[in-house]
């Protein structure tokens, strides 16, 4: 007999590949809910069947019918029902439907409870060897090259790792666009996470965009932050100070101009350096 689950909407993360990653709390919620909202009821039904979980009722809930289903689901919740929301794989709402439903529940004061679990871009961040924080999740990249450039452009100077999903047919082109907009960076292609053929392919954006092999399966891409420029050496400092001094100006002005050209060197230190010169 299914365990009684308190009324409310549950956002249930499901496995991204390895069925054993579904936790006991998620299993109890899925078995005890009055209805399970699923993007693909057949796919979700097969997963639960493999795990020996018998859902009471599946309801189709995807991007094309979310608005239509919204009122029906809210009526169930208002009446004290229990509803579980799942996506095809991973954590719902992250590039999947459900945001409007959660926002509507919050607006009405209806209970919404997460049941955490697998998430592909978090799994990739944890194992890729790129800086895991700060990071920005971009979801699926848009289809057009211009739209991709517009999406990536605000992050060109941001010191954060970018994570996004891409389809295999557009992967090479998207990596090339990322190189064009963001500049050269370390990157990782993570595919088939938690599955038998799990693979992490690391390299530069330039190298991966040129030499990326034909890949199958689910793909998550991570692009590392821009690398900090190497600190200026003594010879560089002397050369820049000499050039700026030749341009003329008071020592403080010369120091400010030189500091703008020398990463990691302050105008104050340069001014003091100038003051020590005979």
pLDDT at 218: 85
List CB contacts of 156: < 8 A, sequence separation 6 or more: 181, 182, 183, 226
pLDDT of 75 higher than 70: yes
pLDDT of 277 higher than 80: no
Burial (CB count within 10 angstroms: exposed 0-12, middle 13-18, buried 19+), residue 194: middle
Closest CA to 102 of 119, 117, 87, 121: 87
Domain 121-223 is classified in which CATH homologous superfamily? Tetrapyrrole methylase, C-terminal domain (3.30.950.10)
Backbone torsions φ then ψ of 222, nearest 5 degrees = -120, 135
Q: How large is the average pLDDT for residues 134-145?
A: 94
Q: What percent of the chain has a predicted confidence (pLDDT) above 90? A: 71
pTM for the complete prediction? 0.79
Going by pLDDT thresholds of 50, 70 and 90, the confidence category of residue 278 is: low
The CATH number given to 8-118 is 3.40.1010.10
Average pLDDT in the chain: 92
73 versus 95: the higher-pLDDT residue is: 73
Going by pLDDT thresholds of 50, 70 and 90, the confidence category of residue 207 is: very high
DSSP state string for 62-105: -TTTHHHHHHHHHHHHHTT-EEEEE-SSBSTTSSSS-HHHHHHH
pLDDT at 1: 44
Range with the poorest average pLDDT among 11-15, 78-82, 199-203, 213-217: 213-217
* 134: preceding bond cis by omega (within 30 degrees): yes
pLDDT in tens, 38-65: 999 999 999 999 999 999 999 999 989 9
pLDDT at 3: 63
pLDDT at 192: 94
Q: How large is the average pLDDT for residues 122-129?
A: 97
Q: How large is the average pLDDT for residues 225-253?
A: 84
Going by pLDDT thresholds of 50, 70 and 90, the confidence category of residue 5 is: confident
Q: How large is the average pLDDT for residues 68-82?
A: 95
**CA torsion through residues 62, 68, 69, 71, sign:** positive
DSSP state string for the chain: -PPP--SEEEEE-B-SS-GGG--HHHHHHHHH-SEEEESSHHHHHHHHHHTT---S-EEE--TTTHHHHHHHHHHHHHTT-EEEEE-SSBSTTSSSS-HHHHHHHHHHT--EEEE----HHHHHHHHS-S--SSEEEEEEPPSSHHHHHHHHGGGTT--SEEEEE--GGGHHHHHHHHHHHH-S-EEEEEESTTSTT-EEEEEEHHHHHHHPPP--S-EEEEEPPPPPPPPPPHHHHHHHHHHHHHH---HHHHHHHHHHHSTT--HHHHHHHHHH--
233 versus 138: the higher-pLDDT residue is: 138
């Amino acid at each position: 007999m299914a365990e009684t689950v308190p009324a409310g909407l549950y956002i249930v993360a499901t496995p991204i590949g390895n069925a054993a990653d579904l936790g006991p709390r998620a299993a109890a919620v899925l078995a005890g809910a009055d209805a399970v909202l699923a993007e693909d009821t057949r796919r979700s039904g097969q997963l639960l069947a493999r795990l020996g979980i018998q859902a009471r009722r599946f309801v189709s809930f995807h991007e094309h019918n979310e608005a239509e289903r919204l009122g029906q689901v809210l009526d169930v919740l208002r009446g004290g029902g229990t509803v579980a929301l799942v996506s095809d794989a991973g954590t719902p709402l992250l590039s999947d439907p459900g945001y409007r439903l959660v926002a509507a529940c919050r607006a009405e004061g209806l209970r919404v409870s997460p049941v955490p679990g697998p998430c592909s871009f978090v799994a990739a961040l944890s194992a890729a060897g790129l800086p895991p924080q700060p990071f920005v999740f971009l979801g699926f990249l848009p289809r057009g090259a211009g739209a991709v450039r517009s999406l990536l452009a605000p992050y060109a100077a941001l010191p954060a790792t970018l994570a996004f999903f891409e389809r295999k047919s557009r992967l090479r082109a998207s990596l090339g666009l990322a190189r064009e907009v963001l500049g050269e960076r370390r990157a990782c292609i993570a595919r088939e996470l938690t599955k038998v053929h799990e693979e992490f392919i690391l390299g530069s954006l330039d190298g991966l965009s040129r030499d990326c092999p034909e890949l199958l399966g689910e793909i998550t891409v991570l692009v590392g932050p821009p690398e900090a420029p190497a600190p200026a050496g003594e010879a560089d400092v002397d050369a820049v100070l000499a050039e700026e001094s030749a341009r003329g100006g008071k020592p403080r002005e010369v120091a400010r101009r030189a500091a703008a050209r020398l990463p990691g060197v302050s105008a104050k230190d340069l001014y003091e350096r100038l003051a020590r010169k005979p």
